[in-house]
Amino acid sequence: MAERRDAMFRGERINVSENRAVLHVALRAPRDEIIELDGHNVVPDVHAVLDRMAAFADKIRDGSWTGHTGKRIKNVINIGIGGSYLGPEMAYLALRPYTDRAMTFRFISNVDGAAFTEATHDLDPEETLFIVSSKTFTTLETMTNAATARAWCVAKLGSEAAVAKHFVANSTNTAGVEKFGIDTANMFEFWDWVGGRYSMDSAIGLSTMIAIGPENFRAMLDGFHAMDEHFRTAPPEKNLPMLMGLLTVWYNNFFGAQTLAVLPYAEHMARFPAYLQQLQMESNGKHVDLGANHVDYQTGPIIWGEPGTDGQHSFYQLIHQGTKLIPCDFIGFLTPLSPLAGHHDLLMANLFAQAEALAFGKTAAEFAAEGSPPAQTPFRVTEGNRPTNMILADTLDPKTLGALVALYEHSVFTQGAVWDIDSFDQWGVELGKVLANRIIPELKDKDTPKLSHDSSTNALIERYRQHKG
């Protein structure tokens, strides 16, 4: 595992199925660090983009960048999907106390038209900036929403020239960005050695930088880098990502635990479990090893969770007394971000109590000693011995968030190394995309030649076309 880790930091092409390097660690490396890919130091490239992002973010935040009609930008909408959406939204919500509250930030990913309609219904296009995040600038969902945003903007502002003042892009497709009408001077680059689910600290984080400011964004990068260095240098017995990853493998493969609950006791971390779902399940949901051999063991667990104390009154019953073993990652913060300190005492008391209850439970003898009715006792017993990790940080600030995300990134890496799988490709999502592109024209044109899907899919398409008339 250490050898594979070191190969990643050296820029070797450890994403074997796509023959790509995996260098998200370069996104948060200091300026003077050297991380090479094919003999080229990529760190200066990263900082060149970060500097351009910072200059642009400052212009939006201080009002020197204005829209087509000269009005100040007050609303920022990030259009992306997958890592181009989950990371920015999660970070914005997690760091909400550090954001410019005079601005509105929203995130559109779903191709369901309701996502766009709800995100824009109360906004003034004269004051709205769209950030279109797509590496190829061809992603179906993202470009559909971007085209709708473009039409909305032009219709409201009355000029195609408005696009250049209300749209910027995170992409590598210069021609596609230019054709869309975005000034390529406002295109922020990232690279094919950055996977989408590892990209929130790249140009994909532009909305985050505008929201919290370049200084706080750099603090977040410092948190990422500190965990990178810990993962790279700490001995295994003191290496947090390694230990977390090995524990996940231990309970997944030797105790049959099919899921992992991530339970942040912080309202601002509400989207963190959803972010980790992509990070973990897209990375390690694999059925063949690096040699293309079908594995005969379980790989990635199912990730889920909600912030406490909401979950306690929802699904914790199953964790405490159900028949499934569910390891839990608890995440708490010593310092509240709300002035309501009494609330924080109650929150933390619940956090510590849940970990204690899951560890030790309560026996029939203990209930009997308390005078519990014998007929009721079997229903009240909790066995305990349920595994938990407790992650306790000082406060939820940009640096801590960066460290937390990197902690899970490297835990995922550790799991993949043990399972001998490629944690950095995602071929499983491609088939659905291909089939969707095949079906799209069949839904639009009822005179399409005879459908050639399976009988169930054919029937569903026919039902939809009948409904459209």
- Active-site residue, from 324, 433, 444, 446: 433
| Active-site residue flag, 118 | no
Cis before residue 309, ω within 30 degrees of 0?
A: yes
| Active-site residue flag, 282 | yes
Residue 247: Cβ within 10 Å count: 18
- Active-site residue, from 89, 127, 141, 282: 282
Which region, left, alpha or beta, applies to residue 240 given φ > 0 means left and ψ of -120 to 50 means alpha?
alpha
- Active-site residue, from 313, 450, 467, 468: 313
Is the distance from CB of 244 to CB of 301 less than 8 angstroms?
A: no
| Active-site residue flag, 286 | no
What are the catalytic residues? 282, 313, 433
